[in-house]
């Protein structure tokens, strides 16, 4: 898979079957307590260097926020960007966590799997066929994640506990980085944690050293942080502070 592709080239990447080792690494990383830097807040003119910096600081899960201008107002990034960072992240022992904030996610999951996604998360609010899409993600060899907005009850995932590997509890309304953490989130994470048992709970939005501890205590295992990492003067130190607050490695 080329590290850099012409933007006018068709996305004809082949779907590589996950090896046993890759699959184990992926499961172990998502099962541990970890901070996942979101490249949404990175400087895209030097994206590779920004990823190298957070991975040197200890990050192994790189979060990729995909927005379509429909499910949420902004349009952000697509499979081309995921493919362009895939070798860099995987060669350094990391994995790619794709967060689809798009309508009709079932139409896009194969492209993201081909682009190197290890986990593909979509929103329960974005499709009428949650379990079909979760199964389709797993059949593509990826971990399957199900996200819910702050206004969506946890019951939205109750019939998908066995089908999903990751449950993403939004701690802001999706669409932009840098929004304030919703204060009721720890209570929701606590209730979600009881519902999903062993599944990984991911939190996303407003995570920083002052908020990570409250959702960690409530049962979150994966902490997405964008502006608190890439918006900091020293992303390495910022990563370490969030990891410490979350009790993460
Ligand atoms: C928001 C995205 C987040 C975003 C978080 O809709 O899903 O992943 O990058 O940004 P911060 O950490 O700045 O709240
Ligand atoms: Zn996200």
Q: What is the pLDDT of residue 78?
A: 97
**pLDDT > 70? residue 7:** no
Percent of the chain with pLDDT over 70: 93
| d(C-alpha 32, C-alpha 177), whole Å | 24
Mean pLDDT of 91-113: 98
Counted residue by residue, the chain has a size of: 249
Q: Which residue is closest in CA terms to ligand 1's atom 10? A: 177
- In this predicted structure, the answer to whether residue 15 has a pLDDT above a threshold of 80 is no
Matching residue, tokens 């199900």: 146
Ligand 1 centroid–CA 101 distance in Å is: 11
Q: What confidence score (pLDDT) does residue 21 get? A: 77
What does the block give as tokens for 33?
A: 């307590």
Please tell me if the CB atom of residue 38 comes closer than 6 angstroms to any atom of ligand 1: yes
Strands, sheet with 34-37, edge to edge from the N-terminal-most edge strand:
34-37, 222-225, 200-204, 166-170, 143-148, 119-123, 95-101, 61-67
* Ligand 1 centroid to residue 197 C-alpha, Å: 25
Which of 107, 49, 39, 103 is closest to 77 using CA atoms?
Answer: 39
Of the chain, the percentage scoring pLDDT greater than 90 comes to 89
pLDDT digits 0-9 by tens, 126-148? 999 999 999 999 999 999 999 99
Work out the average pLDDT over 240-249.
Answer: 96
Is 65 a residue of the active site? yes
Q: For residue 198, give both structure tokens.
A: 């062993």
User: Is 70 exceeded by the pLDDT of residue 219?
Assistant: yes
pLDDT in tens, 144-169: 999 999 999 999 999 999 999 999 99
Q: Which helix (H) or strand (E) holds 191?
A: helix 185-196
- Which tokens sit at 2? 């080329």
Q: How confident is the model at residue 1 (pLDDT cuts 50, 70, 90)?
A: very low
Distance linking the first and last C-alpha atoms of the chain: 30
pLDDT at 178 over 50: yes
Concatenate the DSSP letters of all residues of 55-118 into one string: HHTT--EEEEEEEBSSSSS-B---HHHHHHHHHHHHHTT-EEEEEEE-SSGGGTHHHHHHTT-S
Q: Is 222 in the pocket of ligand 1 (CB under 6 A)?
A: no
Provide the pLDDT for residue 19.
76
The whole-model pTM stands at 0.94
Asked if 25 and 95 touch (Cβ cutoff 8 Å), the reply is yes
Helix or strand holding residue 51 (H, E): helix 47-56
Whether 109 is in the pocket of ligand 1, judged by its Cβ within 6 Å, is no
Examine the pLDDT at 246 and tell me if it is beyond 60: yes
**If you average pLDDT over residues 78-82, what whole number do you get?**
98
Q: Is 177 in the pocket of ligand 1 (CB under 6 A)?
A: yes
Give helix then strand counts, H and E, for the chain.
9, 8
Among 229, 213, 204, which residue's Cα sits nearest to residue 54?
229
CB 229 within 8 A of CB 239: yes
Which residues make up the environment of ion ligand 2, defined by Cβ < 5 Å? 65, 99, 204
Mutate to test the pocket of ligand 1, among 40, 185, 231 (most ligand atoms within 8 A of CB): 40
- Report, as an integer, the average pLDDT of 95-115: 98
**Taking residues 216-222, what's their average pLDDT?**
98
- For residue 4, pLDDT beyond 60: no
Q: Which residue has the higher pLDDT, 40 or 8?
A: 40
Residue 132 CB neighbours (<10 A): 11
Report the C-alpha gap between 39 and 67 in whole angstroms.
Answer: 13
Helix 47-56 with 235-246: angle, nearest 10 deg:
50
214 Cβ inside 6 Å of ligand 1: no
């Amino acid at each position: 898979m080329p590290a850099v592709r012409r933007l006018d080239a068709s996305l004809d990447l082949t779907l590589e079957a996950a090896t046993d080792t890759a699959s184990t690494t992926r499961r172990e990383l998502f099962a541990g307590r970890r901070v996942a830097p979101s490249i949404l807040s990175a400087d895209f003119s030097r994206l590779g260097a920004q990823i190298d910096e957070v991975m040197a600081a200890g990050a192994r899960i790189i979060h990729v926020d995909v927005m379509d201008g429909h499910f949420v107002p902004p349009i952000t990034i697509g499979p081309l960007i995921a493919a362009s960072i895939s070798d860099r992240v995987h060669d350094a022992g990391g994995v790619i966590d794709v967060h689809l904030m798009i309508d009709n996610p079932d139409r896009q999951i194969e492209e993201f799997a081909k682009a190197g996604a290890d986990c593909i998360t979509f929103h329960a609010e974005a499709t009428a066929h949650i379990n079909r899409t979760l199964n389709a993600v797993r059949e593509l060899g990826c971990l399957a994640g199900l996200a819910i907005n702050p206004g969506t009850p946890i019951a939205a995932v109750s019939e998908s506990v066995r089908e999903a590997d990751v449950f993403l509890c939004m701690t802001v309304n999706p669409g932009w980085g840098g929004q304030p953490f919703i204060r009721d989130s720890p209570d929701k994470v606590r209730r979600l944690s009881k519902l999903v048992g062993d599944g990984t709970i991911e939190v996303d939005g407003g995570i920083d050293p002052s908020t990570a501890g409250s959702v960690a205590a409530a049962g979150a295992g994966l902490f997405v942080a964008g502006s608190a990492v890439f918006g900091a003067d020293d992303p390495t130190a910022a990563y370490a502070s969030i990891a410490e607050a979350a009790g993460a490695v």
